[in-house]
Structures are given as C-alpha cells and as structure tokens.
Amino acid sequence: MTRLKKYRLFLFLLFGLLLLAILDQKLAIQSVELTGKSLLDMLLLLPPVFILVGLLDQWIKKETLIKYMGRGSGVKGILITLFLATVAAGPLYIAFPIAVLLLKKGAGVRNIVFFLGAWSTVKFPVLIYEFTSFGAEFTLLHITFGLLFFYLTGMLFEKIYTQEKLLQHDNTMKT
Amino acid sequence: MISGMVLYTVATLYLVFSFYRDKHKTMAALRSSWKMFYNVLPDLLAIMLFVGLILSLLTPSLISSIIGENSGLLGVAYSTFIGSIALIPSFIVFPLGKTLVQNGAALPQVAVLMSTLMSVGLVSLPLEQKTFGKSFAYARNGAAILMSLLFGVIVWMVLS
C-alpha cells in the first residue's frame, strides 16, 4: 500500500493521459513519445551520477568535506561548489540527492543553496548552446547575475536554515 | 549525449578503482546508489510524464504568440508561469529559446522563461519538499522566480 502511495502522482497523471487519449489521440501519442524520450535521457544520466554519489559517500571523510565546503570555507568553498555544480550534467532534481549528501557530510547551507543555484544557472556543456543561441553579452549577464544572486540567497538562507533542520526531512536514504 | 558518455567513463573508472582498493566499501556504495535511485523513481516517473503532457500541449508557436513583442507585463507573467511548471533538459532550453525569439517572442520574456525553466520546478516541488522540507523548497523556488524576473529586467534594460 505504501508503495502504491508513492506512485499516486504518477498514476494520477497516467489518468490524465488516458483522458487526453480519449479527447485527442494525436496529442496523446505525442505526449507518450516526449515522455519516453525524456525518460530515456534521464535513465542515461542518472545511473553514473548516483554511482558517483554513492562512491563519494563511502570515500570522502566528513572532516575533509567540512574543510572544503563547510561553514567558513570561504573562497575555496565557493570555487569547489561552483566546480561541482557546473561539471555535473542533468536537470535540477538530480542535484537534490547530491546536495543532501554534501549537507550530511558537513557542507554549509550557504554553499548548498549556491550549489543548487549554480546547477540551475551554469552548465559547462550547456554554455555552448547559450553562447551560440544568444551571444556573449547575454550569456555573461546571465551567469554573472545568476551566480551573484544565488550566493547572496545562500548567505540569507544560512541565517534561516541550519544543516540539521534541512536534513530532518530527507528520505532519499530510507528503505 | 557526450556528457552522458563522459559521465559513464568517469563513473566506471572510479568504480573500478574503488573496487580495486576496497571491495566492501564499493559494494556499500553501489547499494546506497541503488537505494537513492529506487527512492526518487516514483517522483521522476511522474515528472517525466508531466513534462511530456505539457510539452505536447505547449508548442513553440503557441508560446511565441503568448509572449510576443507587445505582450508586456502579462507576457512576463505567462513566461514565469510556463517556465515554473514545465521542466525540460537544460541543453534544450536555449535552442528552444532561440526558436521562440525567431517565432516572434520578445527577448526579455524569453529570458524569464528560460531562467525559470532551469531554476524553478513546481513539478519537482514534491521531490524537493521530501528532500529539504516544505519551507526550504518554497523559499528556494521563490528566490529562483525573483532571480528570473530580475534577470528579465536586466535583459530588457541592457539588450533591448
């Protein structure tokens, strides 16, 4: 029953798809195709990301991570967070389990908010698309403003949320 | 595709190296990887299906007509709304944005749309809530909306 409950949103949407299929078959087929394509993309990206997260969990010591990404890690912390966020691939929801692991290992709240912000703003592979589609000025404005904004947001959120407060909700590791 | 190949290569190399160094640690790592995957799967399936439904309903020409050159603040509101609910892979965001502009959409509105597409996720909000709690999830998405709007203003002032 609990397992079924986890899938209720999916089942609800499946019902929506069924309704659409009755109303407009062509659109429904297109939805299924698009869903299949993004599912494939996701299944392609997720396993290596989760394997890396699992390995990180086993091999990186808490003290090491606190030193590099914890409270008061300063410019070094910013640079490492930025590096981690921009080289990883995939949409933002993949970043959630990674962010939780980093929090567990002692990364500061400021760096975690910055990590999520940078993840959603700058991606090295995507940068090429942005640059060729919208030019250097646009890209530079986007990156500079986005990163600055999310770093300031991180400083603000650090005052509101503690690491413990954020971790008490986590269920990525629950069985 | 290329980033996928790089990821697999890196993951495989580390995995082999880790296995060589410590078999037990590596198995524990793989077990926790599987657990993470298993736990996010229901939400991910829902997200993907929702994205499929939304994208088949919102075509580039439809979006362009909603956020055209003279759409003004209402266009910004639509951009924010569409960008916040839809969720598409980031490498599609910019080519899509270009298509929209070519179809007659205004640049600041498209900027807001692209920025919210990448940073705001109402579809993935349930997942984010389960991970960090309600308050943080709402606050982060709120901040991301604010960032996107301000970015739209900057683009409007500097580039148009």
Beta bridge partners of B68: B105
Subunit contact B118:A92, Cβ cutoff 8 A: yes
> For residues B90 and A92, what is the distance between their CA atoms, to the nearest angstrom?
9
- pLDDT number for residue A137: 94
User: Tokens standing for A165?
Assistant: 């407060």
Tokens 């699992």: give the residue: A54
Query: What are the tens digits of pLDDT across the range A56-79?
Result: 888 988 889 888 999 888 899 999
Instruction: Count Cβ–Cβ pairs < 8 Å, chain A vs chain B.
Output: 241
Query: What are the tens digits of pLDDT across the range B53-70?
Result: 888 888 888 888 899 988
| pTM of structure | 0.85
- pLDDT number for residue A6: 79
- pLDDT number for residue A172: 64
- pLDDT number for residue B2: 67
- pLDDT number for residue A147: 96
Give residues 54 to 113 of A whose Cβ lies within 8 Å of B: 54-55, 57-59, 89-93, 96-97, 99-100, 113
Tell me the nearest-neighbour CA distance from B158 into chain A, angstroms. Answer: 9
Residues 6+ apart with CB under 8 A from A25: none
- pLDDT number for residue A39: 84
- pLDDT number for residue A145: 97
- pLDDT number for residue A152: 97
Residues of chain B with pLDDT under 70: 1-3
Residues of chain A with pLDDT under 50: none
Is A21 at the interface with chain B, CB within 8 A? no
Q: How many CA atoms lie within 13 A of B52 on its CB side?
A: 27
- pLDDT number for residue B28: 93
